[in-house]
A and B are shown apart, each in its own frame.
Chain A
Amino acid sequence: MSESWVDACAADDVDAEDVIRFDRDGRTFAIYRTDDDRYFATDGWCTHEQAHLADGLVMDTIIECPKHNGRFDFTTGQAKGAPVCVDLQTYPVKVEGGRVFIQVG
């Protein structure tokens, strides 16, 4: 198990209750910031169809797929009902020195 942390973005790059995209080595992720400044990371693509979750709307700790209204709790990756039923992969996140790091494994 790799312990390598990857510098994804500045903490300020993500607005409160919002999400941005982060690409690395051919993989793509979504980096979330909650209203109370907690950070989370998941895979970027919705498990239902080809849409990037960074284009979706964050409400509380729920990310909605921008195309099909599929919903996930981004703190756990859990799918929250139709049309998605496959959970999202999540990744550990830490914030140090104003930067957001994710452990992509």
Chain B
Amino acid sequence: MTTRPIAIVGAGEAGTRAAIALRDHGYGGPLILIGEELHPPYERPPLSKAALTAEAEPSPSAIADAYRLADLRVERLAGARVTAIDRAEHRLVTSEHGGIDYERLLLATGARARQLRAPGGEHAILLRTYDEALALRRLLRPGARVVVVGGGFIGLELAASARERGASVVVLEAAPRILTRGVPADIAEKIAARHRRAGVEIVAGCAISYIARDGGAFSVALSDGRIFAADCVIAGVGAAPEVELAAAAGLAIDNGIAVNGRLQSSDPDIFAAGDCCSFPHALYDGRRVRLEAWRNAQDQGAFVARALIGASEDYAVTPWFWSDQYDLHLQISGLVDAGATVISRDLGEGAVLNFHLAEDGRLVAASAFGPIGKIAKDARVAEMLIAKRAKPDPAYLAAGERKLKALLAA
């Protein structure tokens, strides 16, 4: 009798980390990692940054190369698409490899970049994969006119990378300011100022009427009549969770594959982790959230490995997010919108650390921006205080000369 494997659909950060962690935790049975891309599992954060700006042609930053996966006895199916889940038979239907039986299944299908919804929106380039980054890299030439639609993290990182490559850059944002999702206004303004200093034109509060192709170039027209000529239009307008496979199999969906605190779906033998799932966060009274972040994918991948082999605790890792913008660094931990008041600590050289306190005084989020050497240590301490559900003295938090680390001992 052969044992059915644990199958993982999605060979990105969450899926690959889960495969590694299963072996770390002593799972010795068969393990299959299925992904649509042909590259070995790789890290996505560099795609909007170093992969575009590096002088030399970059190579994917591997999470685990073929040797490591072989060493871990992970059967890797690359270029394979799972087309259906037969839950009754515990079997996956794939495009190239026929049926694959599973004992337990992890869906780590990630998210896909949203299409720009405007007439001519199909002309806008999207960025999600390494191959897309390579294609984009060739377009970011000195003197190229680049229009970035969307003033979120991807859009702004792309804007910074395009400037570093010598392109001229306009960022178009529909909301009244950039980074409305999860970033406090003071930090968003600092980031906008840094972009303007680099020569990026930011147009907020605008609506795109259409994008037209004109030979090898494009025109991006706004509803107020302005028209921007572009050699390259890039859209960074958010991501949508990849839930089609789960939905077709009848699993519960709620802004992502709906899982419980153990990251278990409405089918007890199917789990989900990373960008594709929404889960009740134990640190925030079980509030259901979906996080699109590298660290979350990594943490949930490691966590779900234990859940897949029977662990029963609930996921409670503090959300954590970072972004690089030129020489400056942003770090956000916790959920900013869970906060009621903000206490700011001046870290010098224009760097700031905001503490977001709930109404009962509990620290629920921290947002920091500035040179990495100015913010990273204190931001990490803040993250640990959030995990401890600390209620620090606001006056102490604001006093920049007092050591934050001392609060951890309290």
Chain A interface (Cβ within 8 Å of chain B)?
A: 17, 49-52, 54-57, 64, 66-69, 82-83
Most buried by A among B20, B43, B373, B376: B376
State whether B302 touches A52 (Cβ < 8 A). Answer: no
| A-B residue pairs in contact (CB < 8 Å), sample of 25 | A17-B405, A49-B61, A51-B372, A54-B373, A55-B372, A55-B373, A55-B377, A56-B377, A56-B380, A57-B376, A57-B377, A57-B380, A57-B381, A57-B405, A64-B380, A66-B376, A66-B377, A66-B380, A67-B372, A68-B295, A69-B295, A82-B20, A82-B298, A83-B43, A83-B63
Question: Which residues of chain B are within 8 angstroms of A49 by Cβ–Cβ distance?
Answer: 46, 61
The answer to the question of B17 belonging to the interface, with a C-beta cut-off of 8 Å to chain A, is: yes
In whole angstroms, how far apart are the Cα atoms of A49 and B20 in the complex? 20
A56 to B381, CA, bound (A): 10
* With A57-B381, A64-B380: A52-B298 Cβ-Cβ less than 8 Å: no
Bound form: Cα–Cα A24–B157 in Å: 32
Cβ contact within 8 Å between B376 and A82: no
The reply on B322 being an interface residue by CB < 8 A is yes
Q: How far is the CB of B380 from chain A (nearest CB, A)?
A: 4
For B329, the chain A residues whose CB sits under 8 A away are 67
Tally inter-chain residue pairs, CB-CB below 8 A: 40
Interface size on B, residues (CB 8 A): 21
Q: Which of B302, B320, B372, B373 contacts A82 (CB 8 A)?
A: B302
Residues of A near B50 (CB, < 8 A) are 50
A44 to B119 Cα, complex, angstroms: 50
> In angstroms, how far is the closest chain B Cβ from the Cβ of A83?
6
From known contacts A55-B377, A57-B381, A82-B17, infer whether A66 and B372 are also in contact, taking CB-CB under 8 Å: yes
Partner of B376, one of A17, A50, A56: A56
Q: Which residues of chain B are near A57, meaning CB under 8 Å?
A: 376-377, 380-381, 405
> What chain A residues lie within 8 Å of B377 (beta carbons)?
55-57, 66
In the docked arrangement, what's the CA distance between A64 and B230, Å? Answer: 42
Query: Nearest residue in A to B408 (C-beta to C-beta)?
Result: A59
- In the complex, what residue of chain B is closest to A51 when comparing beta carbons? B372
A16 CB to nearest chain B CB (Å): 10
Q: Which interface residue of B50, B322, B380 has the most chain A CB atoms within 10 A? A: B380
Alpha-carbon separation in the docked complex, A17 to B377 (Å): 12
Interfacial chain A residues near B405, Cβ < 8 Å: 17, 57
Contact A83 B298, beta carbon cutoff 8 Å: yes
Q: Taking the nearest CB of chain B, how far is it from the CB of A51, in angstroms? A: 7
- How far, in Å, is A57 (CB) from chain B's closest CB? 4
Residues of chain A lying within 8 A (CB to CB) of residue B298: 82-83
Partner of A52, one of B43, B373, B380: B373
B104 to chain A, nearest CB (A): 21
Q: Please name all residues of chain B whose beta carbon is closer than 8 Å to the beta carbon of A67 when the two chains form the complex.
A: 322, 329, 372, 376
- In the assembled complex, the CB of B198 is this many whole angstroms from the nearest CB of chain A, namely 20
B368-401 CB contact bits vs A (8 Å, 1 = yes)? 0000110011001100000000000000000000
A34–chain B nearest beta-carbon distance, Å: 14
- B residues less than 8 Å from A82 (CB atoms): 17, 20-21, 298, 302
A55 with B20, Cβ < 8 A, contacts A67-B322, A69-B295, A82-B302 known: no
**A56: nearest chain-B partner, CB-CB:** B376
Q: Looking at B295, B329, B377, which has the most chain A CB atoms within 10 Å of its CB?
A: B377
Q: What chain A residues lie within 8 Å of B61 (beta carbons)?
A: 49
Chain B contacts with A in 41-55, Cβ cutoff 8 A: 43, 46, 50
B301-318 interface mask toward A, CB cutoff 8 Å, 1 = contact, 0 = none? 010000000000000000
Residues of A within 8 A of B43 (CB): 83
Interface residues of B in 19-67 (CB under 8 A from A): 20-21, 43, 46, 50, 61, 63
Q: 8 other contacts beyond A57-B381, A66-B377, A83-B63, with CB at 8 A cut-off?
A: A51-B372, A54-B373, A55-B376, A55-B377, A57-B405, A64-B380, A66-B380, A67-B329
Q: Give Cα A52 to B329, complex, Å.
A: 13
Complex contacts, B376 vs chain A, CB 8 Å:
55-57, 66-67
Q: Which residue of A lies closest to B20 (CB)?
A: A82
Q: How far is the CA of A68 from the CA of B126 in the complex (A)?
A: 25
A92 to chain B, nearest CB (A): 26
Residues on A with C-beta less than 8 A from B372 are 51-52, 55, 66-67
